[in-house]
Every structure is written in C-alpha cells, then in structure tokens.
Amino acid sequence: MAAARTETACRSCGAGGLEVALRLGEQPLANALRRPERLAEPEPRFPLTLAVCARCSLAQILETVPPEALFSEYVYFSSYSEGMLAHAKETARALTAARTLDARSLVVEVASNDGYQLQYFRDAGVPVLGIEPARNVAAVAEQKGIPTRVEFFGLELARALVREGKRADAILAYNVLAHVPDLNGVVAGFRELLAPRGVAIVEVPYVRPLVERCEFDTIYHEHLGYFSVTALARLFERNGLALARVDEIPIHGGSLRVVASRPGEEPIDAGVARLLEAERAAGLDGPAAYRGFQARVDALGAKLTALLRSLKSKGARIAAYGAAAKGATLLNTFGIGRETIDFVVDRNPHKQGLVMPGVGIPISAPARLLEERPDDCLLLAWNFADEVMRQQEAYRRAGGKFVVPLPEPAIV
C-alpha cells in the first residue's frame, strides 16, 4: 500500500502555517475491516493529526492516504441505518416539493452510496444519476435501478456530463466534502454541472459540536476536512458559488445542511449571517476554539478506560455496538481491545464475520447481544443512540446496559 502524504498547506485555500490541534497517533484505516484468518498479517497504520488553517478556518487532517486505498471497495452501506433512510426520505420529499422537481428535472448525487437517497426521488418520478467511486457499493445501487457512474467527482467529470447534455437541477453531496482531497475541484464541479437556478445541497458534520462535545472519533483518514460555516462560505465563494441557506441538523452528532447557488440566483437567508457571527464569537473563525482539545480528549480517554476497567474488575462481560469508522478511532485511540471487549455487533451483514481494524475484535450480528447477554455494551455508534436503544429493547429488558462514551462516559 502506498504511503500517506503529509500536507503542509491548507486543503482549501493553500495557506501554510497550519496549527496542530490534536494528535491521535498511528491509526489503522478505520473502515479496513479484516478477516480473522489475516490477523497475523501486518496492518497498515498512518499518523492521524488534526490541524487548523488560520486564514480560512478549515480544520483538516495533515495526512492524505491515496483514495484508491480507501474507497475502491467499501463496507459502509447507508441503507442499513433506519435513521439515514428516514432522513433521506424526508429530504427527497421536501426538496421535490420546494424545487417543483418532475420528470423534466435531474437530481445528481455525488458519493451516492447504495442509492439509499436517490431511490426516493426515482419513486417520485424524478430522473436521477448517482456518482459513486466504490464499485461494490455502486453495484448495489444499480441493482435497485439507480443509474450510477463509478467515478470520483470533480471538475473534469462535471464537464464531461455537461458535454453529454446533462445539467442538474439539484446536486446532492451528503457527507462527501470531508472525503475529497481536491475541495476546490469538487465545488467548481458543482458550479459547472448546475442548471440555471439549480442548487447544490451539501451536508457535512459540523465542527462546532465536534469540538464542544469532544466528538474526536469523527476524525479518521477518510475524513480530510471538518467544516464550519465560515470555512464553507470561503470555499464556495472561491469557486463561484454563494451560501443561500445553512441549517443545523441533528444527524451524525450535529451536521450542517448548506444550500448553495450561483450568486444572485437564490435569496440569502438571514441565518447564514447569524451562524457566521456565532462562529466568530466562539473562536471558530480560526484556531482559537481548538486550543485545549488535546487535553480534553486525553481526559475523556482516561475516564472511559477507568470506567471499563472498573466494570471488568467486577466480572462484567462487555460487548460493543457499531462497527463504524468512529468506533475504530475510539478503540485505537484509547487502546481498548480484546482484553476488554468480547465482540462487536453491527446490522450490516457485510461487516459480520470480520474484525475491527487495529484491535482485532470480532464482529457479529446484533442478535448475539440477546443470545449471550453481556452485562454492558459500549455504544460506539453513539450518533444513532435512539435508534440502537429502540432496536435493542429486548436486550435492555433482559438487564443489558449501554455505556455511552461521550461527551462524558455514562451507563444507561
């Protein structure tokens, strides 16, 4: 596997002098789940370092792993989350109504995954096109009848689509900007592909709750950038688009939904200016808000590992829920392995039978919780806590308890 490249200039504006905010040490690739028989083989690890640009305020990791190593085969399928499906269905309903989308329109989704979002537009009679670089995931979308291009999106692909006669009335990019090394190329591609009065709708995890609630496990090698409204506004303006509306939404522990258009094509909502001012007041328009983040993550790790050690000392069996990337970051950062966690459960059958990166904990189906009834279950998928609690009501009635790791470790 190729080595990671260490960046010295901002991924967005190109400025140097990035200020380091958090060092998470050498980490495995968070979605590189392995088969048990390969545990003895060397496992690639790369440094994971969060830094902040003083010029444009973008928080970003300094290491770039080649995207082919991350996304050519992928084990994250959005359709296995009820919360994601409900969010996607409501998004499609609201956007179709607000933009009067119909059979003459085109909705393009960048990083369309398994078609979980576009299926709802298709069902409403709106033509769709998915763009998804992971072949195995794109194949699932095609099986659902979602036309999908297996490519990385950028300005070159946008121009090719325009030459084919395609113009998008809406471009969707949900949790994708964080993954792309060429931010300016992707946003410039949005502008190129949009039809007149078209909009790009972008969702990204919001960096403010990441810092304020110590959601450090959102950081992994696939997530290159961590966005504030300030950083987004500067990125989009640099590439010929303006933020028309920004909303805070609860998904993924706190996210931003941005509506962008060519300047003058959409009215600017007053909420954009309010959020920009709030970020200035909080120090998120530069590195100030990130100072002390390392100490808070270290303190959180000390509290969580002490809690788990206490449970083990009393004879408790401990499992974990959620074989997601954030779980890999948390386990590897705090050194929590098979000495503490007996097994991890996850609804995604593509992950079952594999092991967690770096720590080798086996992954099973959620039914194992009720079958074996471990005393406690570390909730790695804390961003879907309500959904998981509903699904595991029988386990809880049988006496099972969940350990929620952050913002402060707690047993529920």
Per-residue pLDDT tens digits for 107-163: 999 999 999 899 999 999 999 999 998 888 899 999 999 999 999 999 999 999 999
Checking if the pLDDT of 76 tops 60, the result is no
Encoded tokens for 89: 């269905």
CA 294, CA 207: separation in Å to the nearest integer?
Answer: 15
Overall fold of domain 293-411 = Rossmann fold (3.40.50)
Q: Provide DSSP, 149-197.
A: E-S--SHHHHHHHHHTT--EEEEEEES-GGG-S-HHHHHHHHHHHEEEE
Q: How confident is the model at residue 306 (pLDDT cuts 50, 70, 90)?
A: very high
- Name the burial class of residue 264, with classes exposed (0-12), middle (13-18) and buried (19+) by CB atoms within 10 angstroms of its CB: exposed
Identify the residue whose tokens are 């974990």.
Answer: 320
Q: What is the pLDDT of residue 2?
A: 63
Mean pLDDT over residues 296-302, rounded?
Answer: 98
Asked whether the domain spanning 293-411 has the same topology as the one spanning 78-279, the reply is: yes
Model pLDDT, residue 61 = 97
User: What's this model's pTM, rounded to 2 decimal places?
Assistant: 0.88
pLDDT per residue as tens digits for the range 157-208: 999 999 999 999 999 999 899 988 899 999 999 999 999 999 999 999 899 9
Which band of pLDDT confidence, cut at 50, 70 and 90, is reported for residue 71? low
Residue type at 49 in one-letter notation: T
Domain chopping of the chain, boundaries: 78-279, 293-411
How far is residue 355's CA from residue 405's CA, in Å, rounded to a whole number? 21
What one-character DSSP code corresponds to residue 227? B
> What do you get for the CA distance between the two ends of the chain, in Å?
41
* CATH number for domain 78-279, candidates 3.40.50.720, 3.40.50.150, 3.20.20.150, 3.40.50.1370: 3.40.50.150
pLDDT of residue 252: 77
CA distance 43 to 61: 21
